[in-house]
Structure 1
Amino acid sequence: VQVLDAERAMVSKEWPELQVESKRPRDIEEMVTRLDSSIKFLKSYATEKDPTTVFSPRIEIENKYYSEVVAGRDAVDLLENTEQTESEIERLNSERENLSGQHDWLEPWKSMTGPVEHLRELENTTCLTGLIPHQYYEDTVAGLSELGSAVEEISHTGTLHACVVVCLNDIAGEVHKVLRSGDFEAVSFEGMYGTVRDILTNCEEKLAHTKVDLEKAKTKAGELSAERLKLQILSDHYVNLLSRENARMTAPATENVVLLEGWAKKKDYKSIEKIVAGFSASSVDEIELAEGEEVPVEIENHRSVRPFETITRLYGMPAATDMDPTVFLAPFFALFFGLCLTDAGYGLIML
């Protein structure tokens, strides 16, 4: 059924005094967003094959099971567990990246034997630690030596030298100028205690524990993924609720009555009457076409051709008096798409 909004509905044009509710169902929208995010997350940890295919994009379930999932608490609990697990994985991934970065940052300084807090406890001298690019290293060391400053190289790679610079407090300003000219990158051990090797060992232990916890969280995500059908059912339920609320919000209404105007296939009209009859204070009637009103177009094809309807809808629906081109497009699309894949495969083989 295609439900028209107030702007397109003919009843709005005949009775312009009808009102439209503008309040959005934010709680339902939030729930749909949460469910979509959790389903996407669980799919990335799924261990079993996706039961849906191109020709069968939906999973068939019984009405009883659908009602149980929607009315029960299990799906909501699963959603909350999924969100907690996703947050835990994000936290552990961030912690792992931070620890790995800290480990790589400390690695050049592991040959320092003294506790790093001693570097902050000097009274008459200033101790600076940092990295000097290789192309500026000799000139920087020479400039520091002229000032009477001592430089100890801790380690070096092909491009950087890890150094400790010690100078009297009186010449610290001049030393900073020389270091800036040498593109010196300061490294701070603020908040750290013990030797660099001890800090590295502690960092490695934390990193190992984090990796173990991360694997446990991923395993839990895989277990939760096996039950994601419940979330998909609940998502369909809330998407339907949202569609219903959006239709109600945009439909013309009085203080006590909502008027839903739309189009339905002739073969579906009896089913609509039966559905509406199940609700009290509700009725459905056919109305005459208004002058100049256009009839929407819908296409129907055999199950084997139905997947190719997407192509027709993509390029534009035929007019009401035209022939449905889907059945003619299907074999040619399949043929030429297959040729494209074949040529690509042949090209890869030749490479």
Structure 2
Amino acid sequence: MLDFVSPENYQPLTPAADGSALVGADGARYPIHDGIPDFVPATGGEQPLHGNQDFYRTRAHEYDLGNSVMFRMLLAEEEPVREDIVASLKLLPGARVLEIGCGTCRDTVHLLRRDTTVYAGDLSYEMLAIGKQRLEDVRADFSRVRLFRGDAMRLPFPDGFFDAAFHFGGLNLFPDIAGALKEMARVVKPGGRVVAGDESVGPWLAETEFAKILKNSNPLFAHVAPLDRIPVNARDVSCRWVLNGSFYLISFEVGAGEPQLDLDVEFPGWRGGSHRTRYFGRLEGVSPQLRETIVRQAAAEGLSIVAWLEKTLRKATETD
């Protein structure tokens, strides 16, 4: 339990004397139900800004049946597919893994088959209760799994706490997909991997009867893989489709900030300059006639336009 921090300020939490909650230095309390800490605000305007909680609470007991039907419908064997998806994390022995939206822990079982410690969270306590029973049924090692109720937008972990983060099957319903992916990347250490996927018929299948049938039964299959919502610190990004091209699977490595450039590499050719001079050194424009004169004069002197302009402007601005 001491691994969790406040999702509000990332400060440490300690168990209450009676074990009923995790408590912050600021007095914030996060209740524990049947060994599962709850980090979802319970009242007022602080309630999660989406309806997923009610959606999954009402269908928790039919969720597993729906999953089994989906795999049969797509002519796929569930266990090998889930093994393949989890393998995208490229986990090393001893890895610490976050799974958000774990549902009834169908993927959690596969994560635990590796030498990992898994933190599995979901917005629905009802889903987690079923998931906990599943883990007990397969005799999972509970020293290597920590269940929690939480919102993907407010994860109760410090920066860089995990080696990898995983989600499969609910991203389309998140109210802020970009924010959720950014939050997953926040809690993964540099060099770790994030893998996330959900329904989306591959674009090459968009006009097929296969796609039309799926979208007719479930509009979620009309979603587009959210490549434009991946955080800017993503590296080694890939997107593939699984389950006969009906689910996307995005994976990326966590880097630091935007990609970097060497701004001072000089470009060959008549234009010349570098990214620094072309982007940060831009001046106001000149008439087309003067531009042509500059191009001809630079060529006559064997200089690029940037080199000729810098030489000429430097000379014109020199002071005695």
Which TM-score tier does this pair reach, normalised by the shorter chain? under 0.3
**Greater RCO (Cα-Cα under 8 Å, separation 6 or more):** 1
TM-score (normalizing by structure 1):
0.19
TM-score (norm 2): 0.21
Greater share of residues in helix: 1
Greater strand percent: which structure?
A: 2
